[in-house]
Amino acid sequence: MIRRALAILAAAVTLAGCGQGLNRGNAPDTIRFSILSAENTQTNQRYWTPVLKDMEKATGLKVRPYYQSNYTSLIEAMRFKQTDVGWFSNQSGLEAVRRANGEVFARTTDPSGVDGYQSVLIVNAKSKLTLDEVLKCGRRLTFGIGDAKSTSGTLAPMTYLFAPRNIDPQKCFKTVRAANHQTNLFSVAKGVLDVATNNTTSLRLDAQRGGTAAKQVKVIWVSPTIPEDPIIYRKDLDPAVKEKLRQFFLTYGQGDTPEAQREHANLVALSIGGFVPADNTHLLPVREMEATEAVIEARNKGGRKALDQAERTLAAIRQQRVDLAGKAGIKITNP
């Protein structure tokens, strides 16, 4: 897939980042919580620290955070049992389930009550660039994409925008830089990049926290809705620890007591409304996005055998989604 080539952009950062500060020791009362970083570590620490402290108090466990802007590092850390539980994007979460013995047990909700968010393409607010101009390619523009394992930063724009048009960003743009959402937002706002991927949550957070970058960009493309992010722990964790974590996430910020309102405010600062139960079927939509991209690329390349296999895979995933909806009493008329 085209997306695989983009992973090369993150490889050097991944190799440098994996293993830093991951000496866990053998303390059974300590868990390592990994956090995907769409922003800088200092910002993440500021907003996550109150939640992690509450997690320690509620579970009786020591909680050590592990922040990484490189998604592959988060996956590898869980794979080698250097982290126990974490907040992932859908794409990186799917890889954690596939490669790191991960298991989805909860997912986030949005504070607005709208279930899901969108990937977007942004340009500077003063730019005259349109989506049509961007898609003309010609190696004229500088482009910021997300981490190779980012759902809204890479998978969604590849699936819904570039792959259907048989566009390889590496060949389309003058330069392609992979970075987190905050870096891409600031780069477009300051005119360092002509165009970049981002998402609606990142833009809302910047405005919510009094930033000005979101006001200095404009959106020229919006993806279909993407499911909220999963919370994943390792399958082989002690069942008692798993239950403590599950209880914490599913009750945190719930209710109308002053304490619950304080907890809820901590989550809103992270653009999270709360947590609800989930399992690995939560990742069906991202699997469908992957399979859709594979069908498009096989069709563009003209290989009948590869196309047949890709279409069978996509049909099987769609049938799973239909069956799951049926069990919940939901009828899908156009899967």
Chain segment 6-28, per-residue pLDDT in tens: 443 343 334 344 444 444 444 46
The predicted-structure confidence for 181-213, as pLDDT tens digits, reads as follows 999 999 999 999 999 999 999 999 899 888 999
Task: Quick: pLDDT tens for 56-87.
Answer: 999 999 999 999 878 899 999 999 999 999 99
- Give residue 68's pLDDT: 87
Among 123, 100, 107, residue whose Cα is nearest residue 197? 123
Compute the average pLDDT of residues 163-180: 93
Q: Which residue has the tokens 């563009």?
A: 300
Q: How confident is the model at residue 233 (pLDDT cuts 50, 70, 90)?
A: very high
Rounded Cα distance, 117 and 87, in Å? 16
CA angle 97, 155, 89 (to 5 degrees): 45
Distance CA 108, CA 97 (A): 17
Q: Report domain 119-222's class.
A: alpha beta
Least confident stretch, 6-20, 184-198, 239-253, 304-318:
6-20
- pTM comes to 0.79
Domain 2-114+229-280 in CATH: superfamily? Periplasmic binding protein-like II (3.40.190.10)
Phi, psi of 190 (to 5 degrees): -90, -5
Give the DSSP letter string of 4-38. Answer: HHHHHHHHHHHHHHTTTT---TT-TTEEEEEEE-S
* Residue carrying structure tokens 């399958």: 235
Domain boundaries, the chain: 2-114+229-280, 119-222, 285-327
Reply yes or no on whether the pLDDT at 126 is more than 80. Answer: yes
Note whether 2-114+229-280 and 119-222 share their fold.
yes
**Quick count: other Cβ atoms within 10 Å of Cβ 110?**
17
The per-residue pLDDT for 148 is: 86
Mean pLDDT of 161-175: 93
Q: Which pLDDT belongs to residue 112?
A: 83
